[in-house]
């Protein structure tokens, strides 16, 4: 191990033993009953940052690339061979309505893995038509301006084994910046942690996301608000602090080989609390949502994937319930150190949203 890598490992060993304990105490003493949780706050963090995870229906707490594991299961960062990994992705979501870009870098040694990744989800070139109508009631198209609404997230993650038990633990901290043109902006933070156990052909993980709730603090540009008389739509004295709900995920996967073929299924159950959502199983205090993904490989070079997630109860026009299920599929190709993946998500246009095409590229340096 090089001198630089030893310094990094020592830094994050100290971080994990001291700072993580403090964060656990600070977040754990909250009373969730007193907190005001926002059901879909920072929901952009639930988007898959790579095509492999998207093709598996986001059932990628084990099967997803290690370089992206910092964002959903940091304990999985140590499961591949030691070395360095680099990943980049660009996605056109929902029929080019939104754009997702992400970049990640992973350092793995025998007993420590460290990752840094940056994510951006944005809708660009939004037309601002609030001043298009002049005082005489005529349309002035020269007064149309454009703005962007974008969300950024920075992830710092570390993973280490728990002795020689076959267990791994992982931790990440995430820092958020969000803005909607010049109208408003926000800063936020949160933490995730997970543990993982390998047993022969099987993996099991327990992931606690947004431990204690992730916090986002909004700042309103009062000048822009008054300029466009927006107080009637959203008063300036509204609650500007969002608390994202907490999530617990149980993930289970297996990997089976026959000659040159490999089959790897993964199933996970996500529980969101203490709120109620449109999930298939939903109560006043929590919601449960299952997901399933399957990957078939030939010689670990060619990959086929499919997945199902977001089983939800929706209201029809006559107020009856009906179930919706999001499906996806994809394929991958790995040649030496390079992996190229593609996914087609939301096949069948479930949830009345357009489909998305996802491409991502990973580089492995061992």
pLDDT of 228 reads 64
How much is the average pLDDT of 96-103? 84
pLDDT of 315 reads 66
Residue 236: pLDDT over 80: no
pLDDT of 7 reads 44
pLDDT of 99 reads 84
Residue 78: pLDDT over 90: no
Residue with the larger pLDDT of the pair 12 and 154: 154
- Assign 239 a pLDDT band (cuts: 50, 70, 90): low
- Assign 162 a pLDDT band (cuts: 50, 70, 90): confident
As a whole number of angstroms, the distance between CA 325 and CA 317 comes to: 19
253: tokens are 């996967």
pLDDT digits (tens, 9 = 90+) for 178-217: 988 777 888 999 999 999 998 888 899 999 998 888 888 8
Q: How far is CA 210 from CA 213, 247, 265, in A?
A: 5, 7, 26
**Collapsed DSSP state (helix, strand, coil) of residue 132:** coil
pLDDT of 159 reads 92
- Assign 142 a pLDDT band (cuts: 50, 70, 90): confident
What is the pLDDT of the chain when averaged over all its residues? 78
Q: What is the dihedral of CA 208, 101, 355, 338, to 10 degrees?
A: -90
Closest alpha carbon to 309 in 100, 85, 61, 122: 61
Residue 102: pLDDT over 60: yes
- Assign 366 a pLDDT band (cuts: 50, 70, 90): low
How much is the average pLDDT of 242-262? 89
Residue with the larger pLDDT of the pair 27 and 227: 227
* Pair 263, 296: CB distance under 8 Å: yes
CB atoms within 10 A of CB 299: 10
Instruction: Name the fold adopted by 3-365.
Output: Porin (2.40.160)
- Assign 243 a pLDDT band (cuts: 50, 70, 90): confident
308: tokens are 């199902």
Tell me the pTM. 0.79
Q: How far is CA 338 from CA 10, 85, 306, 366, in A?
A: 30, 10, 21, 12
Residue 13: pLDDT over 50: no
Q: Is the dihedral of CA 254, 168, 340, 1 positive or negative?
A: negative
Residue 60: pLDDT over 90: no
How much is the average pLDDT of 93-111? 83
Give burial (CB, 10 Å; 0-12/13-18/19+) of 338.
Answer: exposed
Residue for token digits 């919706």? 324
pLDDT of 11 reads 43
pLDDT digits (tens, 9 = 90+) for 302-356: 999 998 887 777 766 666 777 777 888 899 998 888 888 888 887 655 555 667 7
Q: Are strands 256-258 and 261-273 parallel, antiparallel or unpaired?
A: antiparallel
Q: Is the dihedral of CA 289, 78, 166, 335 positive or negative?
A: positive
* Pair 131, 143: CB distance under 8 Å: yes
For residue 274, whether the previous peptide bond is cis, meaning omega lies within 30 degrees of 0, is: yes
How much is the average pLDDT of 58-63? 84
pLDDT of 199 reads 82
* Pair 256, 264: CB distance under 8 Å: yes
- Assign 158 a pLDDT band (cuts: 50, 70, 90): very high
* Pair 190, 26: CB distance under 8 Å: no
Residue with the larger pLDDT of the pair 7 and 97: 97
How much is the average pLDDT of 109-124? 88
């Amino acid at each position: 191990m090089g001198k630089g890598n030893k310094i990094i490992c020592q830094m994050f060993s100290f971080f994990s033993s001291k700072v993580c304990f403090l964060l656990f105490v600070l977040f754990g003493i909250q009373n969730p009953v007193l907190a005001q949780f926002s059901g879909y706050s920072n929901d952009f963090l639930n988007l898959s940052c790579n095509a492999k995870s998207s093709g598996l229906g986001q059932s990628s707490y084990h099967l997803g690339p290690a370089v992206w594991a910092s964002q959903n299961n940091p304990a999985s960062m140590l499961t591949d061979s030691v070395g360095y990994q680099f990943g980049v992705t660009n996605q056109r979501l929902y029929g080019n309505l939104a754009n997702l870009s992400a970049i990640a870098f992973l350092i793995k040694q025998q007993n420590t893995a460290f990752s840094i990744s940056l994510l951006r989800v944005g809708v660009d070139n939004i037309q601002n038509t609030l001043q298009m109508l002049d005082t005489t009631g005529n349309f002035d198209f020269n007064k149309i301006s454009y703005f962007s609404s974008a969300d950024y997230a920075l992830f710092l993650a570390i993973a280490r084994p728990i002795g020689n038990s076959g267990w791994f633990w992982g931790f990440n901290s995430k820092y958020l910046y969000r803005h909607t043109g010049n109208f408003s902006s926000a800063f936020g933070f949160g933490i995730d942690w997970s543990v993982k156990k390998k047993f022969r052909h099987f993996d099991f993980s327990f992931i606690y996301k947004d431990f204690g709730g992730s916090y986002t603090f909004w700042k309103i540009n009062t000048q822009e608000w008054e300029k466009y008389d927006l107080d009637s739509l959203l008063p300036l004295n509204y609650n500007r602090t969002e608390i994202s709900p907490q999530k617990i995920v149980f993930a289970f996967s297996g990997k089976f080989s026959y000659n040159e073929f490999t089959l790897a299924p993964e199933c996970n159950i996500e529980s969101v609390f203490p709120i109620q959502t449109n999930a298939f199983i939903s109560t006043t205090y929590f919601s449960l949502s299952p997901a399933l993904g399957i990957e078939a490989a030939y010689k670990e070079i060619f990959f086929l994937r499919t997945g199902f997630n977001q089983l939800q109860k929706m209201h029809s026009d006559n107020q009856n319930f009906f179930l919706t299920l999001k499906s996806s599929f994809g394929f991958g190709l790995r040649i030496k150190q390079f992996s190229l993946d593609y996914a087609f998500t939301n096949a069948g246009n479930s949830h009345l949203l357009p489909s998305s095409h996802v491409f991502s590229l990973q580089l492995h340096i061992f």
